[in-house]
């Protein structure tokens, strides 16, 4: 199987991967600092990923709630 990719596609994938990893390691470092450590550990990465997923889910749920309010599916408590 011979796959070919345009150089712009490879560059975009690299840019996205680097941005993801830099952000993950920044969050991981914050977890280590919070634990009063200067060295990151696997548990810091696991915590950072868990917090990121939870934040995405909460944003998505809030977005769905707002969308349902706009179209009038959900009423207000007024």
Residue 20, CB-side half-sphere exposure with 13 Å CA sphere: 8
The CATH code of domain 7-70 reads 1.10.20.10
Q: How far is 57 from 1, CA to CA, in rounded Å?
A: 38
pTM: 0.72
Residue 12: the pLDDT is 95
51 contact partners, CB below 8 Å, separation of at least 6: 27
**For the chain, what are the domain ranges?**
7-70
pLDDT tens sequence for the chain (78 residues): 899 999 999 999 999 999 999 999 999 999 999 999 999 999 999 999 999 998 888 888 777 777 776 666 555 554
> Taking phi first (over 0 means left), then psi (-120 to 50 degrees means alpha), and beta for anything else, what does residue 36 get?
left
Residue 64: the pLDDT is 75
């Amino acid at each position: 199987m011979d796959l070919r990719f345009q150089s712009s596609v490879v560059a975009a994938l690299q840019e996205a991967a680097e941005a993801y990893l830099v952000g993950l390691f920044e969050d991981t470092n914050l977890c280590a600092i919070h634990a009063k450590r200067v060295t990151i550990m696997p548990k810091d990465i696991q915590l950072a990923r868990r917090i990121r997923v939870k934040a995405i889910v909460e944003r998505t749920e809030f977005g769905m709630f707002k969308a349902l309010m706009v179209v009038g599916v959900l009423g207000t408590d007024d």
